[in-house]
Structure 1
């Protein structure tokens, strides 16, 4: 399996710091950290973790198809683009 493509290209509108992502999801910071590593919801940029709001929404809605497409670098298909429109 190849490494998931997360926040590439980097988008300030798409990126959330861990505390913001935890608030959006209604979970603890530790839970977001764990989900980020296990489910590929974010990446480090300059030593700081950023969570993709798009990937987080896909994960929270249990949309495995969209999240898999996102991880493969898809940013334009209807299944993925719908999430970007929410930003």
Structure 2
């Protein structure tokens, strides 16, 4: 009986940790999406110098990579949660 309780509590703690990771990853992904949207708006609405444009473009590439990484991580976590 005691072994069963430990097993259940271990499973519950793993599920809780998984949910926490999922929530944190979703929060990070939302923030990356927000920053990406802002950067795109800045590029579209304002006239920036070529140097600023190059810097923003490299930053956008980095943010897009981060976005894809978070998407993959979320998919993995969702599969583990099932």
TM-score using structure 1 length: 0.22
In terms of fraction of residues, the more strand-rich structure is 1
Which structure has more RCO (C-alpha within 8 Å, separation ≥ 6)?
A: 2
TM-score using structure 2 length: 0.23
In terms of fraction of residues, the more helix-rich structure is 2
- Higher alpha-carbon Rg: 2
